[in-house]
A and B are shown apart, each in its own frame.
Chain A
């Protein structure tokens, strides 16, 4: 697979996400969250399939700096995936969803 998900941190969030010229999906996750681990392979596949339209990043919410960022974006339940465009959240997906469902939801959100 040529294109994979990109890990982001509090320090790289602005450059990778907010100032990105492509839309970015940020997956807020943690290793203690089973449904987040279930999302992992789905996001890897979509990172490749949708790479020409979308960048998929993963933000581990376990360390304090990243947790603060999660709080800032009012993440209260994970997996929580937010779609950013021009620095703003344009769509939000909470909870596990299978690949086909998320792909369709992303395509709809990107069209708007």
Chain B
């Protein structure tokens, strides 16, 4: 593996694949490490109703299949492997998949963020046996059952509302006395007769025989502990950026998100970033795609300045290639 690629893209959500489409159309032949779990967070989403261009909505996994297909059509090479470590200290950027080393002149980091877990041993023990972070995937298995959703943001509201299609009762357990979620999402939850909110409460332990049977809860104000019988626990307690594999190769903020220095340029020359691995404010498919596009264009200009031939003719940018 001694070839030096023009660009390596790490990640395959909307940000990674949009940057793949743009760099591929600029003839840079991007190498995309899509990860073992390709497609990002949209792979566990049902209907995406706010992505422009799909007036009837589109299912998350289908949207991602379209993006992969589009990137491949322009010559992006997609590898379904996880990057294990990187070294960005030299002019040539080095990326490893296990023992295999890949080299590139530039890199786009678009590894996104993953659902946060509570970090309890019992949560791990019951993973897939009543504990889930994908209401979309697993909701249908809780018909006429009692479930709980942990969290207080928009995604907790969305999951709780979605689960009322199946479950007989949905508890929303939140460690604070108010939700972070937007007003409209909160109202849906607060006005739904199947949903009961348990405020100021955190989960201490998940209990059960073979599958989840109850939760040990603690009131964060009084310290009082109690048991709540449930058949399932769905996690919606935010996200953590996927930056562990980077070590200290680029500058991260105190929460582990990649810091942007100039437009989409990171603290390292030739390393760019797009999507939720940088952005914890907007976190939308469309903003991730937009930032992936920005990263690709910033990178193309940077490569041009370095004297690498980039095909930024008007033709590539504006005219669709006939199918």
**Known contacts A32-B46, A77-B132: A38-B37 contact under CB 8 Å:** yes
Tell me the nearest residue of chain B to A37, going by C-beta: B61
* B80 within 8 Å of A (CB atoms): yes
Tell me the nearest residue of chain A to B81, going by C-beta: A98
Residues of A within 8 A of B130 (CB): 76
**Known contacts A34-B39, A38-B37: A76-B137 contact under CB 8 Å:** no
Residues of B within 8 A of A96 (CB): 36-37
Interface residue tally of chain A, by bracket? 20 to 34
- Cβ-defined contact, B138 with A78, below 8 A: yes
- Cβ-defined contact, A32 with B211, below 8 A: no
- Cβ-defined contact, A75 with B141, below 8 A: yes
A112-B38 Cα distance, complex, nearest whole Å = 32
- Cβ-defined contact, A35 with B134, below 8 A: yes
Distance between A88 CB and nearest chain B CB, rounded to angstroms: 16
- Cβ-defined contact, A35 with B129, below 8 A: no
Dominant SS among interface residues on chain B: mixed
Tell me the nearest residue of chain B to A36, going by C-beta: B137
- Cβ-defined contact, B42 with A34, below 8 A: yes
- Cβ-defined contact, B211 with A74, below 8 A: yes
Residues of A within 8 A of B45 (CB): 34
Residues of B within 8 A of A30 (CB): 137, 140
Dominant SS among interface residues on chain A: loop
* B4 within 8 Å of A (CB atoms): no
A39-B80 Cα distance, complex, nearest whole Å = 12
A94-B132 Cα distance, complex, nearest whole Å = 11
* A5 within 8 Å of B (CB atoms): no
- Cβ-defined contact, B38 with A33, below 8 A: no
- Cβ-defined contact, A98 with B36, below 8 A: yes
* B128 within 8 Å of A (CB atoms): yes
- Cβ-defined contact, B140 with A94, below 8 A: no
**Contact code string B127-155 (vs A, CB < 8 Å = 1, else 0):** 11110101011101111000000000000
Residues of B within 8 A of A36 (CB): 137
* A95 within 8 Å of B (CB atoms): yes
For the A-B complex with A34-B136, A38-B38, A76-B128 known, give 4 more contacts whose Cβ atoms are closer than 8 Å. Answer: A34-B42, A67-B140, A76-B132, A76-B232
| Residues of A near any B CB (own CB < 8 A) | 30-38, 61-62, 67, 70-71, 74-78, 80, 94-98
Top 6 A-B residue pairs of the complex, sorted by shortest distance between their CB atoms: A34-B43, A94-B128, A77-B128, A33-B137, A34-B61, A98-B36
